[in-house]
Structures are given as C-alpha cells and as structure tokens.
Amino acid sequence: MLKTAVVGVGSLGQHHARILGQHQSSKLEFVIDSDAKRAEKIAKINGTKWSTDFGTLIGKVDAVVVSVPTLHHYQVAKHLLQNGIHCLVEKPFTLKIEEAQDLIEIAKNKNLVLQVGHIERFNPAIIAAAPFVNTPKFIEINRLGPYEPRTSCIGVVLDLMIHDLDILFYLMKNKVVSLEAHGAKILSDTEDIAKVRLKYANGCIADVSASRISIKKYRKIRIFQPDSYISIDYAGKNLKIYTKKERKKKAISRFGIDIKKPKLPSGEPLFYELDNFLSSVIGGKKPVVSGEQGRDAVELALDILKSMVL
C-alpha cells in the first residue's frame, strides 16, 4: 500500500482525495491546500491529516497528485520529484515546454513515475473506439461548457481543448503539418472560444472547437473514415459505430448501414486514472499518459495560441 497525498483539494482535487482515500493500494496520509479551512474540511471527510504547506510531505509519502492552479504545477511538482516522490500532475501539465521537459528529466533521473491527468484517456467510450480508428479522413470535435472563474488564468485552449488535442495524439499517431486557429475573448482576458483546423501528415483534417461560454456541457467527437463513421459522446460515455454493409447494388440506402453500440463499463474515469497511477508506481512501469505525452499536448496548444487570430 502506497502512502499518498493530494496537493490542492478544490473542485477536482477533492475527488482525487476521495478516491485515494478508498483505493485498496492507497493510504491517504495528507491533503494540502493553501486555504486552511478547505484543507481541514476535506481532511475530515477523508479521515486524514492536513496542512497548508506541501513541503510537509517530504519523507512522509510515496506518491502525490498535484491539483493546484496550473501556474503552480511546475514549482510544486519539481520540489516533490526532487525529493523522490512520484507525481500525477493535472492537465495542462505546465505553461512552458521548458518546464515540462525539466520535470520529465528529473523524473527520469530519479526513476520516478510522472503522469499527466488527461482523464479522457480513461473514458470508456474512447478506449472502446480506439481499435476501430484506422484511416480517418475527417474528425470533428466539439467541447462546450460553462465559464469557471477558477480557470480564468488560462484560456479555453489550455483549459478545455487540450483534452481533445491529447486524444488526437492518441488516436492519430500522426504529425500535425499545418494549423489555422481563431478565437475570441468574451468573459475573460484570454480566449473563451476557439476554433482550430489541424492538418495531419496523412491528409486527415481535424476541426476542433472549444467554448466556455455555453450554459450546458456538450462534448462529442465524430470520426469519418472510408468504411465507417464513429460517434463518441465524451460526457455521456456513449459510442456508436456506423459501417457500410456489403451490398450488391451501387447505391446505398439507410438500410445498408450497420450500427454497433458497444456496451461500455460504467466505472468512474478518475478512478481508472488513479488506479493506473498507483499500479505504475507499484509495478515500476510507464503510465498511460506520460510526462512526454503531457508535454506534447501543451506544445501543440501553445502553437495554436501563437497562430490564433483574436
């Protein structure tokens, strides 16, 4: 059983603490938050200790989830890694490529697990869809949600779209050769809505939209291939695969389409993510989402922001 802790127990970090407090491979030793009342409250709920100083963890825990504001990811994770603690750092990994690479090198030199919290990799619909993605020609992704003041320090590309950029890396396994990006500031000093077109080396086009000025959450991805159409609902964890039936006639009607609706597990993606982190630490293996993959997603996000027309 690993001794664990969570640094930053806000809206997401509290759920990391909940799961680590219940997981059979974890003993939640501490929760850390700059807000003492918040830290004490979450500690009490989970029956553990609390502090406002993440330095308290040195020499007392094996693995930590870093769920502080993005601006502080690098500082917190670096200190923990330098002191021999395995880390899962929430997305976006860092705000600079140099910072991401530094954390990767520290983890490598100290033989530590460094995982990045791209939770959609553990979405049952994404996992089930991946084997059916072969020669995509066009991909459309839409991720919309309400504005959250707590993430106003970063724009919608690093806040929301980065999930989909990571999924594209996972599904495509191809290089982006060109991109076009447009955005607008509506509610904050950074872009709150963004539309991006990515062109890949194999000719595939991906249109990616993200907005944080929507009342309702809407998260879908559509993949178009010569032999099939794949529809994934991130939020609803639903998957539909439409494929052409073999036909004798030249024309194809709606009756010439075979529709598959795979039954998906109902487990919580965050549990699967943390389970992978803990098992990677225990088994000394590479996590599903490594520091390198988190870095690549940030790099593409930053390239988009540099090219964006506001």
Summarised one tens digit per residue, pLDDT across range 90-129 is 999 999 999 999 999 999 999 999 999 999 999 999 999 9
Q: What is the pLDDT of residue 233?
A: 95
Sheet holding 205-211, edge to edge: 176-184, 193-200, 205-211, 138-144, 218-225, 228-233, 238-244, 257-260
Distance (Å, rounded) from C-alpha 62 to C-alpha 134? 40
What are the tokens at 100? 């991401």
pLDDT attached to residue 26: 98
Q: Residue 227: its pLDDT value, please?
A: 87
pLDDT value at residue 265: 85
Neighbours of 268 (CB within 10 A): 15
Q: Please compute the mean of the pLDDT values over residues 265-285 and round it to a whole number.
A: 96
Res. 253: pLDDT tops 70: no
Question: Which is nearest to 274 in space by CA: 287, 284, 283?
Answer: 287
Range scoring the smallest mean pLDDT among 79-88, 133-142, 197-206, 255-264 = 255-264
Domains defined for the chain, CATH in brackets: 2-117+269-289 (3.40.50.720), 121-267+300-307 (3.30.360.10)
DSSP 160-220: IIHHHHHHHHHHH-S-EEEEEEEEE-SSSSS-SEEEEEEEETTS-EEEEEEES--SS-EEE
Q: Are 226 and 219 in contact (CB under 8 A)?
A: no
Does residue 298 surpass a pLDDT of 60?
A: yes
Summarize pLDDT for 54-64 with one digit per residue, the tens: 999 999 999 99
Q: Which of 147-156, 220-229, 259-268 has the highest mean pLDDT?
A: 220-229
In whole angstroms, what is the distance from residue 116 CA to residue 119 CA? 9
- Give the bridge partners for 221, in sequence order: 141, 232
DSSP symbol at 17: H
Rama region for 47: left / alpha / beta (φ>0; ψ in -120 to 50; rest): left
Answer whether 93's CB lies under 8 Å from 295's CB. Answer: yes
pLDDT at residue 248, as a whole number: 53
pLDDT at 249 exceeding the cut of 60: no
Q: Dihedral sign for Cα 69, 33, 292, 134, please.
A: negative
Tokens 């929507």 belong to residue: 214
* 6's tokens: 């969570």
pLDDT band at 251 (very low <50, low <70, confident <90, very high): very low
Q: What is the pLDDT of residue 173?
A: 85
What burial class does residue 303 get, using C-beta atoms within 10 Å of its C-beta: 0-12 exposed, 13-18 middle, 19+ buried? Answer: middle
> Which is more confident, 267 or 304?
304
The string of pLDDT tens digits covering residues 134-183 is: 999 999 999 999 998 878 889 999 999 999 999 999 999 889 999 999 99
**Arithmetic mean of pLDDT over the chain:** 94
Paired residues of 199 in beta bridges: 178, 205
Spatial contact of 25 and 36, defined as CB atoms under 8 Å apart: no
Q: What percent of the chain has pLDDT over 70?
A: 97
66-81 confidence digits (pLDDT tens)? 999 999 999 999 999 9
